[in-house]
Amino acid sequence: MSNAINGGTIDEVVAEAQAAVELGAHTFWSSQIFGHDALTVLAIVGREVPGIELGTAVVPTYPRHPMMLAQQALSVSAAIKSRGDAGLCLGIGLSHQIVVESMWGLSYSKPVRHLKEYLSILMPLLEGKPVKFEGEDYRVQGAITVAGSSRPSVLVAALGPQMLRVTGALADGTSTWCVGPKTLAELTIPTLRQAAADAGRPEPRVAVALPVCVTDDVAAARTRAAQIFAVYDTLPSYKTMMNREGVDGPGGLAIVGTEAEVRDQLAELTSMGVTDFNAGVFTSDPEELARTHSVLRELV
């Protein structure tokens, strides 16, 4: 079970990480949107809060050269390694075409090629190996040595079949958002596992993030989730996943219901091969919050 935060001051993020430890979470995730830099914040969190794996969900690849990201990730790993816990999980993703092209002014014309080349450079660098790579997007020659670091695990926010196959062949697993149980069981997990097996890699890690709330008013909770996460209904890659799932927006993906109903939904995820559940707790009602945390605590 995992906990996540999307904003707040750095002191507030540190406090959230400490609360996640007290809740019993295995991993504390920091997103990378348009606020704090996730890896920088996690380096601070790692020096303040021992006893929990730290992860990014997720760092966009396009604005960061793979050599620079490897250097930064290894530096964060070295910063938190002295705590003697699970270390760093580096979650990366492509972001979205509208962000890459309209905000950053970069080309999103070949996203699958971009990911394959990016991982072909990033993974060996994280393992301390020199890289000599000649591709269409990247031409890289060099190596990185960061004293005291260890290789982070690398998860990719892969959604479609091609992305999942590249991820399974080159990375350690996937980190999903807005992907429901039907799609996970029919597309995500089998595609990822097959690609990993074909490449001779270990069975991949599957970290699934979904909104969650224990409540007696399911309809109201789904309406609230639809409002809170409305932006994801406007992004084509996520909309494709929701259409595939057969739900009308993020509210339909939320894991909501009584304690027993939420337990059953979480158990279904585990049974299909989900290794990490990243809980997007979206209620501010004190009673619902306490009930939700109680059920999540049972997972650990």
Return the number of other C-beta atoms located less than 10 Å from residue 248's C-beta: 13
pTM given for the model: 0.94
Q: Which residue do the tokens 């993974």 mark?
A: 123
Query: Which range of residues forms the domain containing residue 153?
Result: 1-157
Q: Specify if 234 maps to a domain.
A: no
Q: Specify if 210 maps to a domain.
A: no
User: What does the pLDDT read at residue 14?
Assistant: 94
CA dihedral 282→226→264→276, nearest 10 degrees, is -60
Q: Label residue 230 by pLDDT band (50, 70, 90).
A: very high
Collapsed DSSP state (helix, strand, coil) of residue 56:
strand
Q: Specify if 248 maps to a domain.
A: no
Query: With 70 as the cut, is the pLDDT of residue 7 above it?
Result: no
Q: Specify if 151 maps to a domain.
A: yes
Q: Which of 222, 229, 224 is nearest to 256 (CA)?
A: 222
Of 7-16, 106-115, 144-153, 192-201, the one with minimum mean pLDDT is 7-16
Q: Specify if 7 maps to a domain.
A: yes
Q: Specify if 288 maps to a domain.
A: no
Length, in residues, of the chain: 300
Collapsed DSSP state (helix, strand, coil) of residue 210:
strand
Q: How far apart are the C-alpha atoms of 232 and 116, rounded to whole Å?
A: 25
Whichever domain contains 148, its CATH number is 3.20.20.30
Q: Specify if 240 maps to a domain.
A: no
- Looking at the 3D structure of the chain, how many domains does it have? 1
User: What does the pLDDT read at residue 201?
Assistant: 97
Q: How far apart are the C-alpha atoms of 123 and 277, rounded to whole Å?
A: 24
Under 8 Å between Cβ of 300 and 24: yes
